Amino acid sequence: MKIVKVRLHPVSLQLKQPFVSSHETLTTRELTVVGLEDEIGMHGYGELEAFSRPFYTSEMQVTARWIITEVLADLVTDREFDQPEELYRRMDPVKDNQLAKAAVDSAVWDLYAKRQGQPLAQVLATSAQTTWQPDVPVGISVGIQSLAQTCQSVRQAQAANYGRIKLKVHGNTDLKRIAAVRKAFPTTKLCVDANGSLTPAAALATEIDALGLTMLEDPFARNAQQATANLQSQLQTDLCYDEPIESVADAVRAIRAGERRIISMKSSVLGDLTPALQLVAAHRTEGFPLWCGGMVEGGVGRATNLALASLAEFAFPGDLSATDRYFAYDYAQPEFQLRAGQLQVPRFSGNGVIPQF
Ligand code: OSB
Ligand code: MG
């Protein structure tokens, strides 16, 4: 098969409520859908997950769109290929720019699955020699807000049967808010994501352990590897890396160095499904627990992530909440609805959603 045309479709989704992390406040999710057309007129779609500003990653929507139209499109067009991996190798000469590559790669996988008449989840499971489940337990990420609002969000998440509740935190002093949430919900399983906002301090490990968390994601800035390894060695609580994992090698190195015990995989940050499957393979040999992170995706990105998170290797529910947790309206149909804490992998071929532009 071969790609004959690459198209970019910018979309903008209004968040129902601002989503606050220690990096930025999101009120609008600007996205780009990459549409590929092949030689027999079939289409594949992938989502560009960069944000509008370079606070979470150095890539932004505007820079990544440029990389795709001016560089990547040419590399993948009019080249015969049998497997997505072959086309992915065509992008190797381009340094970094993983989110841009990921948008193209996930569109290639969608197209490849459609050509086979199979759901993306099935095609990924075959490629990774594993199994997938049609109903995937999912978790919710709760942004930074007041204590009362946080408690209300936890209550709502429990009522909706989310399988994992993750609270964003900003800085050491904000851990007091988490301690108060813990007091209000003594037995609820809670995770915390600091997005690198904590600073090493004498009593930090004790304070964190007292919260009784399932895991703490990204305590320190991403280059603070030694501080993270020291913290992990003092903690009962498992640390999880999200932001420092930009490659399979990063994950394996950090596990072996004892910096953390759990990996949150963002397939778009890795460069998408081709490297994501390599991380699944690394998980098998290294044995670290793996789960699927989120980037406040629109419909196509959510569908891609859900296919990945449906693989048997994912140990915890991913940050893959229902469409209506963030958006009143999504550009892709069908939207994802939560049933008993699970999202259903669409039964159609490819990633299973149809974007409407
Ligand atoms: O750090 O996991 C993160 C959202 C945007 C950028 C980074 C992160 C997040 C989330 C939300 O935590 C995940 C989601 O629900 O998509
Ligand atoms: Mg995170």
List phi, psi (to 5°) of 57: -130, 160
Would you say residue 11 has pLDDT above 90?
yes
* Ligand in closest contact with the CA of 318: 1
CA 197 / ligand 2 centre spacing (Å): 11
- Which atom of ligand 1 is closest in space to residue 168's alpha carbon? 12
Report how far apart, in Å, the C-alpha atoms of 284 and of each of 32, 40, 125, 127, 306 are.
33, 37, 14, 14, 20
CB of residue 294 inside a 6 A radius of ligand 1: yes
Rounded CA gap, 160 and 322, in Å? 10
Burial bucket for residue 236 (CB in 10 Å: 0-12, 13-18, 19+): exposed
Ligand 1, atom nearest to 320 Cα: 15
Please tell me if the CB atom of residue 321 comes closer than 6 angstroms to any atom of ligand 1: yes
pLDDT at position 258: 87
Identify the burial level of 347 via C-beta atoms within 10 angstroms of its C-beta, where 0-12 means exposed, 13-18 middle and 19 or more buried: exposed
Computed over every residue of the chain, the mean pLDDT equals 96
Q: Is 132 exposed, middle or buried (0-12, 13-18, 19+ CB in 10 A)?
A: buried
Q: Per-residue pLDDT tens for 140-164? A: 999 999 999 999 999 999 999 999 9
Q: Is 319 in the pocket of ligand 1 (CB under 6 A)?
A: yes
Residue 285: Cβ within 10 Å count: 8
- What are the phi and psi torsion angles at 80 (to 5°)? -65, 135
Tens of pLDDT, residue by residue over 104-113, are 999 999 999 9
pLDDT digits (tens, 9 = 90+) for 218-255: 999 988 999 999 999 999 999 999 998 999 999 999 88
pLDDT score at 308: 97
Catalytic residues: 168, 266
Ligand 1: distance of its center to the CA of 356 in Å?
Answer: 25
Condensed to tens digits (0 to 9), the pLDDT of residues 69-84 reads: 999 999 999 999 999 9
Token pair, residue 62, equals 């505007």
User: Please, what are the domains in the chain?
Assistant: 3-117 (3.30.390.10), 124-355 (3.20.20.120)
pLDDT number for residue 259: 87
